[in-house]
Structure 1
Amino acid sequence: MERREQILVAAAREFDRAGFAGASIAGIARTAGVPQGTLHFHFPTKLSMALAVIDEQNSRTFAVVSHGDGSPTAALIGASRAIAELLRTDAIVRAGIRLSLERGEFAHATASFYEQWIGGIVDVFRSAIASGELRTDLAAEQLGATVVPYFTGVQLVSEVRTGRADLFAAVETMWHVLLAGTADPRHRERLFGVVAEAFRGAD
């Protein structure tokens, strides 16, 4: 299992650096420090490695969404902060996101990933609306189907412009825009405070 993890991280680094088409089996084996035969023992093809990276990225990002927070909106804010941190520090998460945007052979796997994400976020938005934290004419389904692409676009543009150096600031601004348009006035200042606390000291 340790060797498999070593190869998976090496594959993620190569996919993150060069994309699926640009990454090579030889390069992944070299990065992992293993013979190509060992690599093929764990992953028969480059595609199987890419799909394993996407699956692991899904697990790591889904794991940061907490449903135990008394404030559903605060839980979403915290999850976005945690995912932003993973995007800056975790090669598997970065590579999985990059592969998910390449489509092609990953179309089914990545479509399923985004459907799961949107479904999970919709559930939290339903709770936020029911709790009175959010007051909007938009349905939870509309919010989820918009916020997931919004976050994806924010992190992608941050990667292109600054190598994600400004990602925390960009996500913080995203939440100010969202809350300005959807937060119930009774909860707005508290939720702005949650955003400020979540991103305080981030750089």
Structure 2
Amino acid sequence: MAKQDRAIRTRRTILEAAAAVFDERGYEAATITEILSRAEVTKGALYFHFASKEDLAHAVIDAQLLDAPRLPEPPPASRMQRLVDLGLVFAHRMRDDPLLRGSVRLTLDQGPSGIDRGGPFRGWTRLHARVLAEGKERGEVLPHVVPADTAELIVGAYAGINTMSQAVSGRADLERRAISLYEHIMPSIAVPSVLARLDLAPGRGARALAEAERLRAAGPPPASAPVAVG
């Protein structure tokens, strides 16, 4: 068990080091030598976990969804607040999560390499479509909204503000841009009664993540209490 735990920690260390290098250099300029130096591991340890730089890049890209925090919520929280929270928590994590930052850099950089960058786009689109469909079932979403189409629009627009934020401010203004995005698109998605209750204030991402962590620490609710389906 101790050996397995050590292997898991080593793999994570390599992933985070690679993500930091990819974020700073991009895929083409990043080197295995620099990743090894940053991770402080041997070449053998790296190749035990990852067959190549391309394999390592795919693992960093995949971590964008695999590492995304679950956002448990007490009933009867709205699905549209969850939709907004997906983007605001993401913006908050982009400040200091090296694995997420590296994953996003790889996903958005359309370089000449043969890396499949579409996984996060497809995954986030499916997740947004599911939340929108649940919101529609609850009567939170306007009748004209097609969840799959709207999900693609949101994910694409968010990728755009992410790219612009990186270019203009090194991501320092990503939260502000995300809030502005939702202020503009949510009136076309949510019914007025739900729209009026949405929390789009600065710091919402940090608050939502802290609440998720508090609920996880508290454990599941008693058997007699209703359980929110997330």
TM-score, with length taken from structure 2? 0.77
**What letter corresponds to residue 195 of structure 1 in structure 2?**
L
Q: Does 1:195 align with 2:204?
A: no
Question: 2: distance between equivalents of 1:178 and 1:52?
Answer: 32
Question: How far apart are 1:68 and its partner, in Å?
Answer: 6.5
CA contact (8 A) 2:175 2:202 kept: no
The runs of 5 or more residues in structure 1 that have no matched partner are none
CA contact (8 A) 1:64 1:82 kept: no
Structure-2 change in CA distance of 1:159 and 1:64 (3 Å): farther
Equivalent residue of 2:145, what SS?
Answer: coil
Question: 2: distance between equivalents of 1:135 and 1:28?
Answer: 48
Within the candidate set 98, 101, 123, 1:91 is matched to 98
**What letter corresponds to residue 54 of structure 1 in structure 2?**
I
Matches of residues 21-170 of structure 1 in structure 2 within 5 Å?
A: 21-61=28-68, 63-64=69-70, 66=72, 70-103=77-110, 104-107=113-116, 110-170=117-177
Equivalent residue of 1:142, what SS?
Answer: helix
CA contact (8 A) 1:66 1:79 kept: no
Equivalent residue of 1:119, what SS?
Answer: helix
Question: 2: distance between equivalents of 1:183 and 1:121?
Answer: 14
Deviations along 1:103-133, one digit per CA (max 9) or x if unpaired, are 54222xx323322221121111112222222
Q: Does 1:17 align with 2:20?
A: no
The runs of 5 or more residues in structure 2 that have no matched partner are 1-7, 208-230
Q: CA RMSD in A?
A: 2.3
Equivalent residue of 2:82, what SS?
Answer: helix
Deviations along 1:17-44, one digit per CA (max 9) or x if unpaired, are 1111100011111111223233223222
Aligned residue-pair number: 197
Question: How far apart are 1:147 and its partner, in Å?
Answer: 0.5
Structure-2 change in CA distance of 1:60 and 1:201 (3 Å): closer
Question: How far apart are 1:74 and its partner, in Å?
Answer: 0.6
How high is the sequence identity, in percent, across the aligned residues? Answer: 26
CA contact (8 A) 1:77 1:198 kept: no
TM-score, with length taken from structure 1? 0.87
Give the equivalent residue in structure 1 for 2:3.
Answer: none
